[in-house]
Each structure stands twice: as C-alpha cells, then as structure tokens.
Amino acid sequence: MQLSAVYKPEPCILVVFGATGDLTHRKLYPALINLAAQKRLPDQFAVVAVGRREKNDTQVRNEARRAAAAAGTHPSAAAGAEELLQRIHYFQMNFEDEAAYPLLRSRLAELDAAYNTQGNRIYFLAVAPQYFGIIADHLYKHGMAGNQGAWQRVVVEKPFGRNLASARELNARLTQAFGERRVYRIDHYLGKEMLQNLLVIRFANTLFEPLWNGRFIEEVQISINETVGVGSRGGYYDEAGALRDMVQNHMLQLLTLTAMEPPVDLDADSIRDEKVKVLRSIRPLTPENMESSVVRGQYGPGMIDGKPVPGYREEEQVDPDSNTETYVALKLYIDNFRWSGVPFYLRTGKRLPVRSAEIVIRFREQPGVLYFGRGYSELGPNLLVIKIQPEEGVFLQFNAKQPGSVGDIVPVRMDYCQNCGTGFDSPEAYERLLADVIRGDSTLFTRWDEVEYAWEFVDRIADYWDQAGTPVEVYPAGTWGPAGADRLLAQNGHRWILPFQCLLTDRPDLEKHGSRPVVGSCQL
C-alpha cells in the first residue's frame, strides 16, 4: 500500500476483539477499506479478527467485503480493498479463556514476522463492556501490553462503565495494562467532521470569536434528535437509559467543545485541558434545583413517518413497567467569566419527528429602539446553527428588509452545507478515529478526567431520580418530547428552536415551537 504524503504511519497489527459483531461489520470494516483506498494505512499492516465463532480467513474476508459494499464505501475503495482483505486473518477464541491468550500471542508473533509490523499493536475492543477489563487483564498478564521495544494501544467503546464507581474500576484495570496515554476511549461524535470544524469556526474567525460570550449570546441549545426507537437494543437500553447512553458522553462532549476557552495549543492535552475546565465549571445540580433543571421522558405509542410505532414499554426485551428514560432535557449554567448567566439547554431523545444533531447559538436582541417596537413585525432571532448530522455545515439567520416592501423586515438565511451535492464526501467518523489511533493522536478521544467529571455529573442526576422515585413523563412517538421540556425553557422566557431542516421554510413562526401542530415532518 502506498503511503499518504501527509504522514507516514508506523507499522502495526490491528487486533479486533468482537470481529463477528455488528460494530465491526457496520463501521470498522468499511472504515478500514476507505482508509486503504486513501492510502492512509501503513505499508506494514495486518488485521487480526478475533471472535468466538468458528470461521476461517476466507469467510471473514468475504464478510468484510460484503460489509463494505453494504456501507457504500467510496467508489475508489475497490482498488485498494483486495490487498487489504488479504491481510485480514481470523483467530477463534473465548475472551474469558486464559489458555487462549498464549496462542494468540504466538499467532501475533507469526504475523509480526510475516508483515514486519515490529510488535506494534492496536487492540480494538468491539465487545460488550463486561469484557473490557477481562481482555485487558489477560493481555497484560501474557506480555502483550507491556510497551517494551514496541507500542501497544487499546481502543474501548462506550459505555465506559455504568457509573463513576464502575468507571474507576475499569479505568484502573486498563491503565494498569496500558497506561493512560495508550488508552483510547472512543466517542464517535468527536470523529464527526463538523465537531472538528467547530474549533476552526470559533477560533479562526473574528466574525464569531469576539461574540462568543454572555455579552452577546442569549442562550445555547444542543440537540441530538433520533426518529428511531431502541430496536433490538432493548435489553441494554433498559439498563442504561438516555442519561447514561447519550448525556454522559455525546451531549457533554458537545457542550465542552462549544463552551471551552481557546487552548494554548492545538495538541491533544491542551484541548482536553480546556474541555475539563468546562466540566468543572458546570453549576452543581442539587435536590433543590433538580426538578427545575432536568426533565426525563419516555416515548409511548405514536406515529413516525405516517406509520404507527409501539411505545417503549412494548419494545422487545423491555420491562413492561419500565421507568427508563428515552428522553432527557437539561438546563445548565457554566459558572465562569465567559458564560455567566447564559443557559445551556441540552436535549436528546428517541422517536422524535426529525433526525438531527446540532448546536444552536441564539444571539441577544438589540436594544428596544429603531426597528424594535416601532410597528414592525416581530423580528426573528439571530441564529448560528452548527449542523452535525445528517447535513454538515453552518446555518446563519439574520434580519433584512423584504425586497419591494415599504419596510417589512424578514429573517433571511445563509446556509453552507459541506456534504450536500457531489463536491465533497465527509469521512466517516471511524475513518478519522482509526487513522488517529494508528498515528498515536489522542486529540479526538476522551481523557480519563473528562470521563470522571462527566460521570460525577450524571451520577448526581441518576441518584436523585432513584431516591426521589422520579417518574418518566410519557410523550407520544413522533412528537418533540414531554411537555415538561417546554416548561423547562419557559422559566427563562425561551422556547426550543426547531432543527435547521424546519427553519428552511417561509413560515416565520417556525423558529419557535411548543408541543403540537405539525408542518411537514416538523412537529411544532
């Protein structure tokens, strides 16, 4: 494989535990094949797919080929795919069987010699969380994680623990085996193109950075909206819920990137230092302010895309009396100089009308003179929307005179989309993250102190819910969540701002919505 001119990745073997699972087929195989097409893999490189099922190299290579085709890999990927596929090897083992690890070590040594990978290894744990510590312990015990004369790195998927105590226990086992700097905790949202672009938008433009503070910003809304239900993940989800599944990682990561101070450098530690400062600055939630700051909901039966869907409690593997939340909304304050008094509203939920993830900055209104309160129609807010998915880009709304009118003022929009049309294919998140692990760049991975502060925050909410017996507020599938989420913002005179897909309309009232009327796929 020809190397990229940008950097020269070091030789290594990627060892994927859980290679027969869904994550490997949906994400890892397509990402690897795209990286091969872009010539971003080392010349000396191989993949060892580790699983419990009885398979051989040919079967696994065919599975990888089909997985890449199903994922719609880049058209240029076909040329480099076959060479990569011949470097995929299968190793069958039970992850809990200690006797299998010396055999794995011998097989890796053979492949080191065959591909000249020099003992460098990446262990990707695409397995259920209960196996993270077990695999790390055995790799360390059998001399496959010592970092002596070569490097070994471990990649773990969320959830990283179920609470602070379990996260600390898991972290102790991983860092004993690999050390903090060689543990890569994936949050795939950090691999999304627009989240990486967020720092550029903020810190490379005098148009935005001088205004990025409480003097000019009225509120910030961060949303991850899903139209899907829990599907086949009911067993896992009923134990986790939206608070642990989404808020502890994705939502708080979006918050830190939005609110962080400029780092002293663009290296990994400088950026992550500033993210930790944001987490430390979140105003504590207490029993006195919990009910006015957090809303939990659960979807009931309803309609999605004109079709009836079951409620959460009717889903497969879900307790019929479950009190697990599928929706969380929060009102947070960051008590530092930049953001004092500015509410940050976070929401995430399943079975909502529109799939989207975005960060909305609502700027303060001008003083009540001139065009304000002088007989003009109500002016729309100045909005900056960072679009993360499904479209990626930036949406800016501001006020201008309506052409041809005497003096009517209307909201106008400038919409930049970097993944629309045929001009650019944004790399999938796992492509960027895998390439960064191979390079040893941990910028887009969460450091332990980030995880620790995030769990402290989430545990405080979960413990309150348990002790107070806080019930979920049921909302019909296909609506924007429980009515309590609207009341959460109404306390400050605010309303939820619709996703950008809904703002692209001539209806001037669509930047606001309460709970009920429907316009297209946008529930107001």
Express each pLDDT in 275-311 by its tens digit: 999 999 999 999 999 999 999 999 999 999 889 999 9
Q: How far apart are CA 431 and CA 34, in angstroms?
A: 7
Catalytic residue among 25, 89, 188, 250: 250
Range of the structural domain that residue 311 is part of: 190-523
Whether residue 197 lies inside any domain: the answer is: yes
302 and 350: one domain?
Answer: yes
Whether residue 350 lies inside any domain: the answer is: yes
Q: How far apart are CA 363 and CA 216, in angstroms?
A: 6
Top-confidence residue, 404 or 58? 58
Q: Residue 377's pLDDT is what?
A: 55
How many CB atoms are closer than 10 A to CB 228?
12
95 and 204: one domain?
Answer: no
Of 185, 217, 234, the residue that ends a domain is 185
pLDDT at 414 over 50: yes
Of 185, 210, 239, the residue that ends a domain is 185
244 and 202: one domain?
Answer: yes
Q: Residue 514's pLDDT is what?
A: 39
Of 126, 156, 185, the residue that ends a domain is 185
* Tally of domains in the chain: 2
pLDDT above 90 covers what percent of the chain? 67
Classify strands 45-51 and 12-17 as parallel, antiparallel or unpaired.
Answer: parallel
Using alpha carbons only, what angle is made at residue 149 by residues 144 and 152, rounded to the nearest 5 degrees?
A: 40
Whether residue 435 lies inside any domain: the answer is: yes
- Candidates 523, 485, 524; CA nearest to 304 is 523
Confidence band (pLDDT; 50, 70, 90) for 137? very high
208 and 89: one domain?
Answer: no
Residue 434, C-beta contacts closer than 8 angstroms, at least 6 positions apart: 14, 28, 31, 32, 35
150 and 265: one domain?
Answer: no
Please state whether the peptide bond connecting residue 310 to the residue before it is cis, i.e. omega within 30 degrees of 0: no
The SS3 assignment for 433 reads helix
261 and 175: one domain?
Answer: no
CATH, residue 18:
3.40.50.720
CB 295 within 8 A of CB 488: yes
Tokens of 40: 């971003």
Q: How far apart are CA 445 and CA 434, in angstroms?
A: 11
Whether residue 5 lies inside any domain: the answer is: no
CB 514 within 8 A of CB 486: yes
pLDDT at 236 over 60: yes
Residue 288, C-beta contacts closer than 8 angstroms, at least 6 positions apart: none
Task: Name the region of 72 (left: φ>0; alpha: ψ -120 to 50; beta: rest).
Answer: left
Tokens of 233: 């993940």
Whether residue 29 lies inside any domain: the answer is: yes
Q: Residue 521's pLDDT is what?
A: 46
Mean pLDDT of 177-192: 91
pLDDT above 70 covers what percent of the chain? 88
494 counts as catalytic: no
First to last CA, the chain: 52
How many CB atoms are closer than 10 A to CB 400?
9
Whether residue 2 lies inside any domain: the answer is: no
CATH, residue 480:
3.30.360.10
337 and 469: one domain?
Answer: yes
**Chain segment 323-368, per-residue pLDDT in tens:** 999 999 999 999 999 999 999 999 999 999 999 999 999 999 877 6
Q: Residue 266's pLDDT is what?
A: 87
CB 260 within 8 A of CB 275: yes
How many CB atoms are closer than 10 A to CB 113?
9
pLDDT at 425 over 70: no
Whether residue 4 lies inside any domain: the answer is: no
Burial class (CB in 10 A: 0-12, 13-18, 19+), 306: exposed
282 and 412: one domain?
Answer: yes
123 and 158: one domain?
Answer: yes
Confidence band (pLDDT; 50, 70, 90) for 189? confident
367 and 399: one domain?
Answer: yes
Greatest Cα-to-Cα distance within the chain, rounded to the nearest angstrom:
83
Min mean pLDDT across 111-115, 135-139, 256-260, 442-446 is at 442-446
Q: How far apart are CA 455 and CA 166, in angstroms?
A: 10
CB 455 within 8 A of CB 249: no
Q: How far apart are CA 455 and CA 461, in angstroms?
A: 10
Whether residue 87 lies inside any domain: the answer is: yes
The one-letter amino acid code at 77 reads: A
135 and 206: one domain?
Answer: no
453 and 501: one domain?
Answer: yes
Which 8-state DSSP code applies to residue 496?
A: B
